[in-house]
């Protein structure tokens, strides 16, 4: 098989961008993706089988039968979990990764989100640390992501955001009913509400049309292709250069190394389950926090007996996601307007500066609810079945608003990905084993955020409210991050500030794994910006035949 300059493992938010940047710079690239390439026609509007509600399975992978994991609960009991079931911490496996079916909130982290340790000091039991880079380092790349991928919204009313040189390229969608109710209420409370930035066309952009405001949004592939993921932006652009070959249905088994400790390519199973190899000058791992760590840990050799980048046992550590908390409110009258995406208004007032708390969360109204989703959101005192349950659904489905937010988690060394010593997947590759807990302070912050959400709903006129709190246990899921921490010190991190594995020059990890902390926001725009930034470095260091 021919040799290429770069092989990128995973065609999600990070990998898609890296492939495009390298291909446009003239490098030959093979982009490996274990899932399929779906299109707008795969929307399907199936409320029981999508990436948000997987009662009847995941719409966009991974497949239940072939991809088990082991989850260890808080009592130390290990159990086998399937991809569409609880405890798996799933992210989609397809071209575009999570960006095919995400809700598409496009947040920049705040300046303090990169300096959590300096801002709040040591938090006992947490590996809270500063990023080796600052908001200013990332700002030009946030802008590039916003303009290349396409972001709509208006955060000019948010005084807490970091400075930006250019506004967002598209205006926000017209306000929905929830926005109109929550906006004045937030102002009365002295908050600073604004239009959520979204990777979604509000006007024609990038050769595709605008959002048609349907209710099949988060969890679904957009029927009119108005949601901007890597599958309909940078990956086609990468392929148009003629330098990038996308191979779908390809499950990577391990990264290969030579006797000098450099990587030489990867071994993978192709769509027909045949073992293949691709030799490359550089390898970029972009498989999301769980699978990236798993791949590094599974790539053992005499020089790297504990896996790649794992000399100091940091690969797989600090697994984090977002613990969502908030509140529901019943309004005096029906407010359901059937306008997607639903989520429209946010405040950033509570991300930092909460007395006694090391952080906080952005709060926003929730995405539009499909009827079945509301079943799981009823107040705790409403019976789970019977006449009272049906009455509640009928009376309040059209009167409910939810406000919630992703608490910035306190990273934990013991929240981790390992490879299971016994369980193997369909291809015989040891599976990921997830264990650990939430930091108690994460729960504490989440509880305060829920109270803030409830107060906002009450101010908006809710006649009845109830909180949604988070229980203990790992949260990784679609916002998974942290397992290949970025840092200047090789003893306490896996990659350097350019996402290059500390002791292997030609191996990179470019996805949410490198996040030191995960912000009180949806992480995807930061993954994208950092992918542009790391690619920039990679291209600059490329001398025509090899890296450095």
Partner 1 sequence: MDRRKFIAAGLAGSAIGCGRSRSPWRFFTVEEARTVEAVCAQIIPEDQDPGGRQAGVAVFIDRQLTRFYKPLQKTYRQGIADIDRESLRLAGHPFAELDAAAQLDVLRRFEGNPDLKPFFDMLVAHAMQGFYGDPRHGGNRERASWKMLGVASPPVRGRA
Interface with partner 1 (CB under 8 A)? 40-48, 55-57, 214, 223, 334, 336, 338, 371-372, 374-375, 384-387, 389-390, 393-394, 397-398
Q: Which two tokens stand for residue 502?
A: 């500390």
Phi, psi of 117 (to 5 degrees): -70, -45
Q: What is the closest distance, in whole angstroms, from the C-beta atom of residue 84 to partner 1 in the complex?
A: 9
Closest CB to partner 1 among 264 and 373?
A: 373
Closest CB to partner 1 among 47 and 155?
A: 47
Going by the DSSP 8-state scheme, the letter that residue 349 receives in this structure is: T
Strands 69-72, 430-435: pairing is: parallel
Question: Are 319 and 417 spatial neighbours (Cβ–Cβ below 8 Å)?
Answer: yes
Closest CA relative to residue 15, chosen from 266, 260, 320? 266
Q: What is the closest distance, in whole angstroms, from the C-beta atom of residue 325 to partner 1 in the complex?
A: 23
135-145 and 524-540 are packed helices; what angle lies between their axes, rounded to 10 degrees?
100
Q: What is the closest distance, in whole angstroms, from the C-beta atom of residue 100 to partner 1 in the complex?
A: 15
Closest CB to partner 1 among 46 and 505?
A: 46
Q: What is the closest distance, in whole angstroms, from the C-beta atom of residue 392 to partner 1 in the complex?
A: 11
DSSP codes joined into one string, 110-128 = PGGGG-HHHHH---TT---
Query: If DSSP codes are grouped into helix, strand and coil, which group holds residue 376?
Result: coil
Closest CB to partner 1 among 40 and 303?
A: 40
Closest CB to partner 1 among 147 and 374?
A: 374
Closest CB to partner 1 among 142 and 336?
A: 336
Task: Tokens 């990577």: give the residue.
Answer: 252
Strands 275-285, 507-509: pairing is: parallel
- Cα–Cα dist 358/119, whole Å: 8
Cα-Cα-Cα-Cα torsion 253, 258, 264, 269, nearest 10 degrees, comes to -20
Closest CB to partner 1 among 18 and 43?
A: 43
Closest CB to partner 1 among 215 and 479?
A: 215
Residues contacting residue 206 through CB under 8 Å, at least 6 positions apart: 149, 150, 228, 232, 233
Q: What is the closest distance, in whole angstroms, from the C-beta atom of residue 212 to partner 1 in the complex?
A: 10
Closest CB to partner 1 among 93 and 138?
A: 93
472 C-beta neighbours (distance < 10 Å), count: 13
Closest CA relative to residue 379, chosen from 464, 502, 267? 464
Closest CB to partner 1 among 203 and 377?
A: 377
Q: What is the closest distance, in whole angstroms, from the C-beta atom of residue 46 to partner 1 in the complex?
A: 6
Question: Are 106 and 151 spatial neighbours (Cβ–Cβ below 8 Å)?
Answer: yes
- Cα–Cα dist 285/288, whole Å: 8
Q: What is the closest distance, in whole angstroms, from the C-beta atom of residue 221 to partner 1 in the complex?
A: 10
Q: What is the closest distance, in whole angstroms, from the C-beta atom of residue 342 to partner 1 in the complex?
A: 13
Q: What is the closest distance, in whole angstroms, from the C-beta atom of residue 237 to partner 1 in the complex?
A: 25
Closest CB to partner 1 among 398 and 497?
A: 398
> How far apart, in Å, are the Cα atoms of 52 and each of 45, 56, 101, 422, 479?
12, 11, 9, 30, 13
Alpha helix ranges (H) inside 344-427: 371-375, 387-396
- Cα–Cα dist 7/281, whole Å: 8
Q: What is the closest distance, in whole angstroms, from the C-beta atom of residue 52 to partner 1 in the complex?
A: 13
Q: Which two tokens stand for residue 206?
A: 């990038």
Q: What is the closest distance, in whole angstroms, from the C-beta atom of residue 204 to partner 1 in the complex?
A: 19
Closest CA relative to residue 282, chosen from 509, 57, 507? 507
Question: Are 410 and 128 spatial neighbours (Cβ–Cβ below 8 Å)?
Answer: yes
């Amino acid at each position: 098989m021919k040799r290429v300059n770069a092989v990128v493992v995973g065609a999600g938010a990070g990998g898609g961008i890296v492939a495009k940047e390298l291909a446009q710079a003239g490098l030959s690239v093979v982009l490996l993706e274990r899932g399929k390439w779906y299109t707008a026609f795969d929307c399907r509007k199936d409320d029981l089988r999508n990436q948000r509600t997987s009662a009847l399975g995941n719409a966009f992978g991974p497949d239940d039968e072939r991809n088990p994991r082991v989850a260890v609960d808080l009592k130390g009991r290990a159990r086998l979990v399937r991809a569409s079931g609880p405890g798996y911490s799933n992210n989609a496996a397809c071209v575009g990764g999570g960006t095919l079916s995400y809700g598409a909130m496009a947040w920049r982290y705040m300046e303090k989100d990169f300096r959590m340790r300096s801002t709040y000091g040591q938090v006992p039991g947490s590996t809270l640390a500063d990023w080796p880079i600052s908001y200013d380092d990332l700002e030009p790349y946030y802008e590039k992501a916003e303009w290349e991928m396409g972001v709509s919204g208006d955060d000019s009313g948010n005084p807490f955001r970091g400075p930006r040189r250019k506004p967002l390229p598209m205006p926000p969608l017209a306000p929905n009913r929830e926005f109109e109710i929550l906006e004045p209420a937030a102002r009365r409370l002295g908050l600073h509400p604004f239009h959520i930035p979204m990777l979604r066309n509000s006007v024609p952009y990038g050769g595709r049309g605008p959002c048609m405001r349907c209710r099949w949004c988060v969890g679904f592939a957009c029927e009119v292709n108005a949601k901007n993921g890597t599958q309909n932006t940078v990956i086609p652009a990468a392929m148009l250069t003629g330098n990038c070959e996308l191979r779908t249905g390809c499950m990577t088994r391990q990264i290969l190394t030579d006797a000098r400790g450099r990587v030489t390519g990867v071994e993978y199973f192709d769509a027909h389950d045949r073992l293949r190899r691709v030799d490359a000058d550089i390898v970029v791992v972009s498989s999301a926090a769980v699978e990236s760590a798993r791949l590094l840990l599974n790539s053992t050799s005499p020089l790297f007996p504990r896996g790649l980048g794992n000399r100091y046992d940091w690969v797989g550590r600090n697994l984090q996601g977002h613990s969502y908390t908030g509140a529901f409110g019943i309004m005096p009258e029906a407010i359901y307007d059937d306008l997607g995406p639903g989520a429209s208004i946010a405040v950033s007032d509570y991300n930092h500066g909460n007395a006694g708390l090391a952080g906080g969360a952005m709060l926003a109204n929730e995405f539009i609810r499909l009827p079945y989703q509301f079943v799981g959101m009823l107040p705790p005192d409403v019976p789970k079945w019977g006449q009272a349950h049906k009455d509640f659904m009928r009376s309040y489905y059209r009167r409910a608003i939810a406000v919630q937010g992703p608490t910035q988690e306190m990273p934990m060394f013991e929240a981790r990905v390992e490879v299971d010593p016994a369980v193997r997947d369909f291809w015989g590759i040891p599976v990921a084993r997830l264990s650990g807990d939430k930091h108690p302070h994460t729960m504490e912050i989440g509880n305060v955020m829920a109270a803030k959400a409830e107060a906002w709903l009450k101010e908006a006129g809710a006649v009845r409210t109830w909180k949604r709190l988070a229980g203990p246990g790992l949260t990784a899921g679609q916002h998974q991050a942290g397992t290949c921490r970025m840092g200047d010190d090789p003893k306490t991190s896996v990659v350097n500030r350019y996402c290059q594995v500390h002791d292997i020059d030609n191996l990179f990890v470019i996805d949410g794994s490198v996040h030191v902390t995960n912000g009180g926001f949806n992480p995807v725009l930061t993954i994208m910006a950092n992918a542009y930034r790391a690619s920039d470095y990679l291209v600059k260091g490329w001398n025509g035949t090899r890296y450095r």
